[in-house]
Each structure stands twice: as structure tokens, then as C-alpha cells.
Amino acid sequence: MEDTKHRTKTVNKNSSMKPLTEIPEAIMINVPNAFFIDKGRHHPCDQITEGKDPQSHYFKCGLRWFKTFYESMGTEGKESDSFYHFISGVPTQAKHLTNIYICFGGKVQYKAFIVEFIRKSNCADRGFVGYPVRNWVVTTGPIIKAPEDILQKGFRGFRYTKHLF
């Protein structure tokens, strides 16, 4: 059986990791469960789970919303759709990066294209209201689903990586 674990390097100024010696080919981010729960509250689904844990219901609805939206980006009629992920900092190697891997549920799930990085903005000029000032990475499709399970523990921020698929 082929080993599907891939080594990545994290960006953390306080880390004891060795500095990058290779030029990274992409970045990887982790979407936390809290994001799906929050989206599930704002994008209810028809799945009724009376008597069950509301957090679990919100998580499932939010995950369904995210997958439906994300997988449609870049498809016919949805060419201009994009998604704004907040990130802790803009990668120092950002100029040549074109791909981003999206992780959740302990696995790498998608590969998307990077449109741009936005430094310290609330994106009000782009029609968003009520968001705090943050760093953002804007992604678009067409999205490529991971062809196999690539295990990845949760993490904060982003990681540089080689192309995974």
C-alpha cells in the first residue's frame, strides 16, 4: 500500500523547524469545524435532526453548503465565483504560488487556484459587511477533489507544500 502522508513545512516564527531550503509549490490551509458550524447557522439545510445535538446539525448543513459552493466554482455559469479564506499571514513566497490545498476532516480535500492575497482588509470594498480586518487568500476553480485520502492533522495558519495531486 502506498504511503499517502506528505511532508509539509509550517510557517511559524517561533517554530524550531528548519528554514525552507526548497521553493514551495503551493500552500495548504485547514478549515476549522467552527467555520462549518457557523455557516450551518446561516445556511440552513432541509435535513431535520430534531432531538439531536444542534452543533452536529449546523456542522452537517455548513459542510454541505461549503462543498456545494466550493465544487461549483469555475464551472459553467460559475466562472467568476470565488471564496475568501482568512489566513494568519500572507506567505512571503506568495508571488509565484498558484495552487492551494484545502484541508478539513483530517484530510486534504481539494486543490484550488489562488486568485490573490489581500493584506489586512475587511473587504468592505468588495461588498462584504461586518468582517474584521484580516489577511485573506482568494480562491477559485475549477476545483480538483483529492483522488485519494491524504491524511493531514489539523493546524492553524498555512503551510508551504509541494504539489500533492
The pLDDT score that the predictor gives to residue 41 is 85
C-alpha to C-alpha distance for 84 and 72, rounded to whole angstroms: 15
- Among 159, 163, 162, 112, residue whose Cα is nearest residue 17: 159
The pLDDT score that the predictor gives to residue 7 is 45
CATH class as words, domain 23-161: mainly beta
Highest mean pLDDT among 7-21, 93-107, 121-135: 93-107
**Residue 40, phi then psi, degrees to nearest 5:** -65, -30
pLDDT higher than 80, residue 51: no
The pLDDT score that the predictor gives to residue 111 is 98
At 62-110, the pLDDT tens digits run 999 999 999 999 888 887 789 999 999 999 887 889 999 999 999 999 9
pTM here is 0.80
Q: What percent of the residues of the chain are helix, what percent strand, and what percent coil, each to the nearest 5?
A: 20, 30, 50
Parse the chain into domains and list their residue ranges.
23-161
